Amino acid sequence: MSNQQKHWEKTRSLLFITLAIWFVFSIGIFLFGAEMNKVTGPFGYPWTYWFTCQGSLGAFVILIFWFANRQEKIDEEFGFSEREDE
């Protein structure tokens, strides 16, 4: 397998992990919205309410930065990261 294929392979697995986490916070937890809302969560808000106001939104912000860092590492590993002068 060429260097580029290996790079793409890793990039693709990172995508699947990212999308799996995305799925949990955007869709997965809201399958149980009614049940989850009966429990008190962070700062005293009901869990589901908190996720819609802050939790999921904040998780997405962190997820994107985490994804960007991981992808940069993968690019560096295979020598595909951009040089400053490009």
Q: Which residues bind another protein (CB under 8 A)?
A: 4, 7-8, 11, 14-15, 18-19, 22, 25-27, 30-34, 37, 43-46, 48-49, 51-54, 56-58, 60-61, 63-65, 67-68, 71-72, 75, 79-83, 86
d(CA 39, CA 49): 10
The minimum distance between CB 38 and another protein, in angstroms, equals: 9
Two tokens, residue 28? 């997965």
Q: What is the largest CA-CA distance in the chain?
A: 55
Phi first, then psi, for residue 46 (nearest 5°) are -60, 145
CB atoms near residue 65 (< 10 Å): 9
The minimum distance between CB 27 and another protein, in angstroms, equals: 5
The minimum distance between CB 1 and another protein, in angstroms, equals: 14
Closest CB to another protein among residues 1, 61: 61
